[in-house]
Structure 1
Amino acid sequence: MKLTLIGNGTMAQSLAKGLVANHEVEIIGRNINKLKEVQKTIPQISIKELDDVEDITGKNILFCVKPYVLQTVSARLSGKANILFSILAGTTLDSLKKHIEAKYYVRTMPNVAASVLKSMTTLTGDEEVKNEALEIFTSIGQTLWLESEKQLDIATAVAGSGPAFLALIAEGLTDGAVRAGLPRDLSSKLVQGLFTGTSTLLETQHPALIKDSVMSPGGTTAVGYGVLEKNGVRNAMMDTIEQTYNKAQELGKK
């Protein structure tokens, strides 16, 4: 299937890197010089500068611009797309329908791990193209079709923004090991292995069971866990998801 990505930012590039293995990928952007730089990184793609009037008739579009430029970019699109896939956080299906004409609409939220085929992608929209949508995004990782846009906005806070939150935790663990006296290169390798192993455990075990299996009475893990609870890490994570979700809804109202 040919996929046309409109936008050439970080997320669009991550998607393209993963999708080119199984699909014909075209990227359309507003700056031809930036597009040429992207093509150097991903030579399998084709590139095109966005025309003043860009015909999208019959195309399968992945709309990868920032939510605040929806109106500006969509004003330059003409014709009726086949499927419009939108990764715009908080931007509702109704809003998309007002700005861009397509036969079918799907909201989706991949994450930057798409570039290494490990995205956790959530989707919702027209059921008629559910199978096609899942097939496309399964090529870049795991997929989850959700029942509503509300669920997608919550999922955006977890899987879409989540890599940044986990990266902060990874950085903190690494810095902690360095502060305790371990060289940074060794600290980084330890944290990388930690995340890989724990991710595999989470596929079959509840987080609480993993925690209980590690935490011995009066042991080192129990002491460290107490520090995390004392500093409100659990509550901070819960507040983070809630406020990120609220921001997604706020974007949808603009």
Structure 2
Amino acid sequence: MKTITFIGNGNMALSIAKGLKNSYKIEVVGRNLEKLEKFEKELGVDIEKALMDDFSVEDKTVIFCVKPANVEEVATRINGKARVIYSVLAGTSLQKLRQNLHPHALIRAMPNLAASVGMSMTTLTGDEEFKTEAQELLGAIGTTLWLGSEKELDIATGLAGSGPAYLALIAESLADGAVKQGMKRADAMVVMRGLFAGFGELIQDIHPALLKDGVMSPGGTTAAGYGALEDGNVRAACISAVERAYKRATEL
């Protein structure tokens, strides 16, 4: 079984590791042994644990999961030339990663937290010779899409990478709306989760506009609710959310 080395042990590393643990041996490099042990417990399988100081990545396949602001500092604490580094750092360019980490090959990947249940939407770009491997590796945690430029990947960060947070806000708000009208909180949560599960399947094959039109009867309940969303500028807010996230990615 091949080994995948994670540098960093935060939420994204854990989510990806959950998706890969049945197909790869997991090695995790961090600053604190106690946090590495917690990572192992939450992952539910034995892992190789290593502290970051003077750790060698020579000829390893690495998933780089540190905070973007810590790239330079982490680079001084590891050594060797990785076979390939898959970076999941938002807004951190291939050029900056090459200058600091010096791998043989480099891929930028933008998964999301659904990696932990094998349902990530992961966008990829970087060294073309590793395109197939990247799609196979990250395909273990969901769907992948290879993009032709870093700009497109940064835009995708604002859509799929940050998207779970946007949808979580919408999900919570819809459940709150049902509670406001008199439904028990537990029942509202069950209904909301069923809504999202079914919608996730429908949206795979039906254009959003057609889906909306298929539900909205003239003068009906959906039209009334949809009108409230338009009054609240929800459409414009969603467009702005992706724009702001993209701009932030380019600033990191």
Q: Normalising by the residue count of structure 2, what TM-score does the alignment of the two structures yield? A: 0.98
The separation in 2 between residues aligned to 1:14 and 1:161, in whole angstroms, is: 14
Q: Measure how far apart 1:20 and its partner are.
A: 0.5
The separation in 1 between residues aligned to 2:46 and 2:141, in whole angstroms, is: 16
- Specify the SS of the correspondent of 2:170: helix
Deviates more, 1:38-47 or 1:50-59: 38-47
Correspondence for 2:82: 81
**Once the two structures are superposed, what CA deviation does each residue of 1:182-236 show, in whole Å capped at 9, x if it has no partner?**
1111100111111111111111110000000011111111111111001100000
Q: Measure how far apart 1:102 and its partner are.
A: 0.9
Does 2:250 match 1:249?
yes
Correspondence for 2:233: 232
Which amino acid is 1:85 matched to?
A: Y
Q: Measure how far apart 1:106 and its partner are.
A: 0.1
Does 2:113 match 1:112?
yes
**Once the two structures are superposed, what CA deviation does each residue of 1:49-97 show, in whole Å capped at 9, x if it has no partner?**
3242111100001000010011111111111000010001000000000
Deviates more, 1:44-53 or 1:197-206: 44-53
The separation in 1 between residues aligned to 2:207 and 2:30, in whole angstroms, is: 43
Which amino acid is 2:152 matched to?
A: Q
Correspondence for 1:23: 24
The separation in 2 between residues aligned to 1:23 and 1:219, in whole angstroms, is: 52
8 Å contact kept, 1:27–1:45: no
8 Å contact kept, 1:20–1:45: no
Correspondence for 2:34: 33
Listed as ranges, the gaps of 5+ residues in structure 1 are none
Listed as ranges, the gaps of 5+ residues in structure 2 are none
Query: Aligned residues: percent identity?
Result: 51
The separation in 2 between residues aligned to 1:180 and 1:47, in whole angstroms, is: 51
User: What does 1:59-138 correspond to in 2, within 5 Å?
Assistant: 59-138=60-139
The separation in 1 between residues aligned to 2:140 and 2:19, in whole angstroms, is: 7
The separation in 2 between residues aligned to 1:10 and 1:72, in whole angstroms, is: 20
Does 2:175 match 1:177?
no
8 Å contact kept, 1:74–1:100: yes
8 Å contact kept, 1:123–1:152: yes
Deviates more, 1:47-56 or 1:26-35: 47-56
- Specify the SS of the correspondent of 1:102: coil
CA 1:150–1:66: 2 relative to 1, 3 Å: same
8 Å contact kept, 1:54–1:78: yes
Total equivalences in the alignment: 251
Q: Measure how far apart 1:158 and its partner are.
A: 0.7
The separation in 2 between residues aligned to 1:169 and 1:76, in whole angstroms, is: 41
The separation in 1 between residues aligned to 2:250 and 2:123, in whole angstroms, is: 16
Correspondence for 1:58: 59
The separation in 2 between residues aligned to 1:156 and 1:8, in whole angstroms, is: 20
Correspondence for 1:201: 202
